[in-house]
Amino acid sequence: MPLLPKSDNADYKGSILSAYAVALVGLLWIVPGAIHVFLPDGGAEVIAGLNLGQDRGLIISLFAWAGATQMVWGLMLLAIALRYRTLVPLALVLILLEYAIIGGNIWFFKGVSEGARPPGAYKPLLILPLAAIALAGSLRGSR
């Protein structure tokens, strides 16, 4: 059995724009994920402006761990958007769930206690409506 099964794009009947939205979200995970993995401070200080204090090593390690997860999830989303489009509706539901949790934590439950919010704090405000519209397009049944 091959590593990647045959593409199922011919069976996808939803909007192609919905698949592109999944690809966009994938890219929006890969880029910050790479920043978290490859920048010396994971972007915590130089981009997010966080005071790392005595827990510097722990925070940088957590950023790198989260970045690795972001990169892999982003690659999976790109694979779905480009090769396995019948999974686009499921991917969009998972994106909605993910960003609802992220947004809820950032804006309501576990926000940053000091200083301004990091740049990623604003992504849910963009992604949630985009993903909802894309999900509707992916389910409507016509290309």
Where do the structural domains in the chain lie, given as residue ranges?
14-139
What is the structure's pLDDT at 127? 92
d(CA 34, CA 70): 8
What is the structure's pLDDT at 4? 83
Residue 16 to residues 5, 26, 74, 84, 106, Cα–Cα distance (Å): 21, 15, 18, 12, 31
What is the structure's pLDDT at 106? 82
CA 65, chain centre distance (Å): 15
The structure's pTM equals 0.85
Count Cβ atoms below 10 Å from residue 133 Cβ, excluding itself. Answer: 15
Q: In order along the chain (143 residues), what is the average pLDDT of each group of 10 residues?
A: 86 94 95 93 84 85 92 97 96 96 85 66 90 95 56
d(CA 139, CA 67): 31
What is the structure's pLDDT at 122? 84
